[in-house]
Amino acid sequence: MGNLKKAKSIHSKPIDQYTGIEVTGDFEPFEQKFDIYCRAMWDPKIKSQKTDAFFDGYYMPHAKARATDGFSLKDYAFRNAAWHVNNVIRDIEKSGEFRQEKPNEIRKEGFWDYYTSHDQGWHEPYPYENAAEATRDLKKIAGFCGIGDLGVCRYDQRWMYDSIFSMQGNGQKPQEIPKDITNVIVTLEPMDRDLIKTVPSALSGAATGLGYTFDGVSIITLAQYIRNMGYRAYATLNDSALCIPLALQAGLGEVGRHGLLINEKYGPRFRIGKIFTDMPLEISKPKKIGVREFCDGCDRCAKACPPKAIPFDAPSDHVHSESNLKGVVKWTPSAEKCFKFWANQNTDCIICIRTCPYNRDFSKLIHRLWFKLAASPFRGLALKLDDLWMDRGRLKTSHWWRPELEKIEKNDHSKRVKKRK
């Protein structure tokens, strides 16, 4: 994982040698206002009629339904419905019902701000025998909340947003998660593989929307449980802190070339949630699963990315703009190129997930065996096998809606071929 001695900086921590995170002397904590989606709210270099239309399109009256496969009314209707409950919970605070102390502030909970739609919990912390008891209970309940995978790491100030994005003033307001929080629970909510096969399409955004909706419901439920046991708990999705370094520290996987986390159960196909808490919990161990070495020799996502936002070269601390984290050696995609493509096609894009060799159904033994091969010195063979046997191509959206059409079209095609013969 690179030369750790060379990279050692005052910002490094002992855990970095287990996660493979290399922090340099140039490290600076991230200001959320520079997140590409936040910049689309205020930065004229990013914000445009197209980016406005992109966001508006998540509401039906503004959906740009058209004849192109993947962008029909049905595709937008499902995508926007998939996001809907997430939007409702996200915007609750706007009403002032749940945070009467700040009725006029615009929050976007789960994206800009942590969730506040909580009821009062128990008045004193439950006296667990030990962290093992609390962790066992938490994991049991997480399963019932629908959480796919879960790890715990220590609170790490480095990955907290230094300031939170605000639509007011200069776009910054103070971080609200208290610094004396001790632990971070990191959760994964899987996304559907078949929906993702249709990317680029408005339809594939339904996988993302459902991911966010159920991730939000799960972590709010779990955070309410922790509050009900008398501890503090702040449920967060993309807000408040960087997800990936925390997920690495919580032992949930490794980062791939596309800059996304790769997990043993779900590959690159999930949403991340985080709960900041002072509940005493056992800390998970970071785990190397062979992704870094595999991605070193694989460029399938970089090749497939239409705007060429994913780097072909080795991990470095090069940043494309202020939307990237400074002072960490890693594969860093260009947020500008990526988001511009989203805005141009009027929906989000995850072609990098569709084409990733780790985008497999690991509930099946054959794919778990492939994972072991990919983590072994025979990783070159694993990639070859993937090239040969896995279909990384796009599934026509009309075929997603009606799988029987695929067969009919194939038959038609072979009939035509036969005729020609």
Closest to 272 measured CA to CA, from 232, 244, 245: 244
CA distance 242 to 239: 8
Residues 175-204 that bind a copy of itself (CB under 8 A): 192, 195
Each residue 215-254 as x (binds a copy of itself by CB under 8 A) or -, in order, gives --x--xxx-xx-xxx-------------------------
Choose which of 117, 238, 323, 347 interacts with a copy of itself (CB under 8 A).
117
Using CB under 8 A as the binding rule, whether residue 69 contacts a copy of itself is answered as no
| Smallest separation, CB 216 to a copy of itself (Å) | 9
The DSSP bridge partners found for residue 173 are: 164
In the complex with a copy of itself, the residue whose CB is nearer, 33 or 232, is 232
Choose which of 32, 87, 249, 346 interacts with a copy of itself (CB under 8 A).
87
Choose which of 23, 46, 89, 351 interacts with a copy of itself (CB under 8 A).
89
Q: How many CB atoms lie within 10 A of CB 29?
A: 18
In the complex with a copy of itself, the residue whose CB is nearer, 152 or 195, is 195
Distance set, CA 292 to CA 80, 280, 322, 359 (Å): 35, 32, 25, 16
Choose which of 5, 10, 44, 61 interacts with a copy of itself (CB under 8 A).
61
Using CB under 8 A as the binding rule, whether residue 145 contacts a copy of itself is answered as yes
Residues 93-112 that bind a copy of itself (CB under 8 A): 94-98
Q: List, in sequence order, every beta strand (DSSP E) within 243-368.
A: 254-255, 261-262, 270-277, 328-329
Query: How does strand 328-329 pair with strand 22-23?
Result: antiparallel
E strand or H helix at 153, and its extent?
Answer: strand 149-154
Choose which of 206, 243, 309, 353 interacts with a copy of itself (CB under 8 A).
206
| Smallest separation, CB 407 to a copy of itself (Å) | 16
> Can you read off the two tokens belonging to residue 238?
């993309």
DSSP 98: S
Distance set, CA 393 to CA 43, 198, 342, 399 (Å): 35, 9, 19, 13
CA distance 412 to 333: 41
Using CB under 8 A as the binding rule, whether residue 123 contacts a copy of itself is answered as yes
Q: List contacts with a copy of itself (CB under 8 A).
A: 59-61, 63, 73-74, 76-78, 80-82, 84-85, 87-89, 91-92, 94-98, 117-123, 126, 136-137, 140-141, 144-146, 192, 195, 206, 210, 213-214, 217, 220-222, 224-225, 227-229, 401-402
